[in-house]
Amino acid sequence: MAQLVNSVVEELSAKPYLWAGIGLTSTLFVLDSLYLSYRELSSCYNGKGVPTELQGKMSHEQLVKAREYKRDTMTYGLYHSTWSHVISTTMLIMGWLPFLWKSSESVVTACNLPLSPISQTIAFFVLSNVVDIATELPWTIYHTFVLEAKHGFNKQTPWFFFKDQVKSFLLNNALTAVFISALLYIIDWAGANFFFYVWVFVFGFSLLMMTLYPDFIAPLFDTFTELPTGPLRDSIETLAASLQFPLKKLYLVANSVRSSHSNAYFFGWGNNKRIVLFDTLLSKDLKPESDDKDGDKDDKDDKDDKEDGPQGCNVEEITAVLAHELGHWSHGHVMQMFAIQQSYMLLMFYLFQQLNTTEAIYVDYGFTEDKPVVMGLLIIFGYLLSPLSTVFGLGITLLIRKNEFQADRFAAQQGRAESLQAALIKLSTDNKSYPYHDWLHSTIHRSHPPLLERLEALKKMQ
């Protein structure tokens, strides 16, 4: 026994940075993915009935379905996170990172391409993405075609799913190649004090992606059309005008071919704001006739949808939801969050610059010959600084929760409190959101306040 203990101590002493990284991520995994998730899962077995606030608005059957959906998704999450952590930790201990790095060199050579840190790094990420697909695709397929389908949410066909996966893979690798090439060039050009220049580049790249995504990337995956003229469009445009919100475009996205989950959001810089509504957010009478997929639904399907499927929101309720969203714009929440995230990135790049010169970090993770910058980024960001990321994430969650209440208050000030409450209840039931939560899990993970808390706050605002 003493010999075993001595062997363990020697191994820990020989590779302190490796075992520190594994220890930190494993501790966070146990506390977060296991303990907190177990607490939240336990809330599904509390045996409570429909909350008083939802009496007459949520049936017992809807409560049971929401409980079953949450139980299944939480159980799936526990198994998936456990699998991911065990596999990633095992591969790390077995020297997966240096093996994949050497393999990427072989790939570049085999393709008769010039070997350089940039070309090898791009090959590394392509190989890494291929491995991720092999290990994660079965989980994604199960989640989409078994779990989500079981609860009536999945609307994707296998072909639609396949096309999405291919487009995501190609786009992800293309953007990664551009990003990594520029990042490594800047680090090499800037020398020892590269952190500020890298941050400036990441800041600019973030702005570029936020600009390009709505017009060039999102349309690759979803169909966006102008919201037809009618009572809903009139109501939204009247709201925007009353708040001096510079609305330029009002889109309806065909999310119903993907999922029956619903949402609404706005985007855009300066005076070029656009609002997007999921077609699943609209009640049946508001949906364009073309939403009846190729006219292949019969009367029985329509009846089933009306009785069991998502009911959607009416004009007043959707307008109230958008009044909440415009509350975020009025209070500057989007710019606030962007500024905080960029400040955090500046700190992270500074810490990386300080730790990147520690040769022992690379040696402990198997890089005894060369010290690839991208490996340093993965190791330091993903393992050694993981507690800092967790603390930052908690702070962001608490701030977003505060902002959500503030946006609710803004909607209430526009006289939309009652309609917003009705919309939140419909969205909750349509998305099968279970109204009960563990307080600790909710505090740490739920950026949006639980439904019952929001309803209580809105009642006080009326």
Q: Where in the sequence numbering do the catalytic residues fall?
A: 325
Residue 122, token pair as written in the block: 């791009």
- The strands making up 224-226's β-sheet, listed across from edge to edge, are 224-226, 247-253, 273-278, 264-267
CA gap 231, 316 in Å, rounded: 10
Rounded to whole angstroms, how far apart are CA atoms 429 and 435? 9
Q: What interhelical angle do 96-110 and 117-142 show, nearest 10?
A: 120
The answer to whether 264 touches 281, Cβ cutoff 8 Å, is: yes
What distances in angstroms separate CA 169 from CA 58, 160, 173, one per listed residue?
41, 14, 6
- Cβ–Cβ under 8 Å, residues 200 and 156: no
Residue 275 neighbours by CB under 8 Å, 6+ apart: 236, 240, 247, 249, 250, 251, 264, 265, 266, 322, 325
> d(Cα 145, Cα 155) in Å, to the nearest integer?
9
Q: Which of 311, 321, 312, 310 is nearest to 236 (CA)?
A: 321
